Amino acid sequence: MNAASDVGGDPLRRRIEAYRDPWLGTTLGAARAVAAIERQPGRINVDIVLGFPAADYAALLAAELRQWAPVEPGTELVVNVRSEIVPHAVQKNLKPLPGIGNVVAVASGKGGVGKSTVAANLALAWTRQGARVGLLDADIYGPSQPLMMGLVGQRPVTRDQKRIEPLIAHGVAVMSIGFLIDPDQPMVWRGPMVTQALTQLLGDTLWGELDYLVVDMPPGTGDIQLTLVQRVPVSGAVIVTTPQDIALADALKGLRMFEKVAVPVLGVVENMSTHVCSNCGHEEHIFGSHGGARLAADCGVELLGELPLDIRIREEADSGHPSVVAAPDSARARAYFELARRTAVRLADSARDYSRLFPKISVEDS
């Protein structure tokens, strides 16, 4: 017997569409995530399509739906969950980069808040969750990703003397100015030279097909940062801060900078939120508490995550195996996985970008 598509008025479909997904924050029906329901003898197939990488979530969601929507005895409910990550809109005056679905900028108003660690673990978490991911180290003056991704001393190659092939670490395509210079050599470049170098690194790298390109931005809100976000087609930005007031003040400036250039701010990450003593387990808010939540609430954006201050995070990043890779089942890695999922869901909430599907039409006077 051939499979037959279910109809929209079927009670089973209504039941499944009523399921409220904790990550989407809405029902599967409202999210239009129920792609199809097909019946076969003794079997019902349900296809769920999510707009974020869900390789590590698919089995859990399928199990939840089997409990949520029980079927008659003798019938098996088979739930297939897959991801469909689509490109999203960028600044109106810029074109999306070929082959790159979404550019996500990870930024901070000041240095020393752990932005690069967040960027590395975010890229790795998305890769572990099933996405194709690249990582661009845009911090010209202090490139950290060669060390964090375990690529110190390696050099990218070019086969046509025009385009550079990125290095691959833990499944992520990585490019950094740190691959091209002596690590002990200071970069004494002025702003225009920096922005030119970064736009070349971005445009001249053979990234391939990516769902996400994570850009580890230089800290601060000066001319370099502003020029970059005006030139690079960005789908969304993540603002990293610590809970202390001085960091929050600078994070607010960074957030406002993205708003001024019409780049959606996906949310705020509070890094070094709490410290857990490795000896006694005592938890303490060394840098203050809930500053990131207050900033997010005041600015009308989402708090994407509160990450711990843990010596193992620093040790793992310095070893070239960030926490998501080094200890994927640990609580500290779980915080990064949850951050990655919230960020991807927030991006998926944005309007889809169909502009690249249409031709550009110009009208000239005859």
Tens-place pLDDT, residues 72-88: 999 999 999 999 999 98
Angle formed at CA 248 by CA 229 and CA 242, multiple of 5 degrees: 100
Phi/psi for 185 (5° steps) reads -90, 120
* Residue numbers of the domain that contains 138: 100-348
Q: Are residues 243 and 166 in the same domain?
A: yes
- Confidence (pLDDT) at 365: 44
- Confidence (pLDDT) at 109: 87
Q: Are residues 281 and 166 in the same domain?
A: yes
Residue where one domain finishes, among candidates 51, 83, 115: 83
Residue where one domain finishes, among candidates 22, 51, 83: 83
Residue 92 domain-assigned (yes or no) = no
Q: Are residues 122 and 260 in the same domain?
A: yes
Return the closest-CA partner of residue 129 out of 329, 333, 341. Answer: 341
Q: Are residues 29 and 123 in the same domain?
A: no
- Confidence (pLDDT) at 358: 40
Q: Are residues 307 and 248 in the same domain?
A: yes
Residue 114 domain-assigned (yes or no) = yes
Q: Are residues 106 and 242 in the same domain?
A: yes
Residue 113 domain-assigned (yes or no) = yes
Q: Are residues 46 and 140 in the same domain?
A: no
pLDDT less than 50: residues of the chain: 1-8, 351-366
Structurally, how many domains does the chain consist of? 2
Q: pTM to 2 decimals?
A: 0.89
Residue 321 and residue 313: Cα distance in Å, rounded?
A: 10
| Helices 331-348 & 115-128 angle (0-180, nearest 10) | 80
What does the pLDDT look like over 85-118, one tens digit per residue?
Answer: 999 888 888 888 899 999 999 999 888 899 999 9
Q: Are residues 135 and 170 in the same domain?
A: yes
Q: Are residues 32 and 106 in the same domain?
A: no
Residue 298 and residue 109: Cα distance in Å, rounded?
A: 17
Residue 39 domain-assigned (yes or no) = yes
Return the closest-CA partner of residue 215 out of 194, 236, 241. Answer: 236
Q: Are residues 108 and 20 in the same domain?
A: no
- Confidence (pLDDT) at 186: 67
Residue 82 and residue 354: Cα distance in Å, rounded?
A: 21
Residue 366 domain-assigned (yes or no) = no
Residue 89 domain-assigned (yes or no) = no
Q: Are residues 144 and 196 in the same domain?
A: yes
Question: Which two tokens mark 119?
Answer: 């960027």
Residue where one domain finishes, among candidates 35, 53, 83: 83
CATH of the domain at 271: 3.40.50.300
Q: Are residues 134 and 60 in the same domain?
A: no
Residue 268 domain-assigned (yes or no) = yes
CATH of the domain at 77: 3.30.300.130
Residue 88 domain-assigned (yes or no) = no
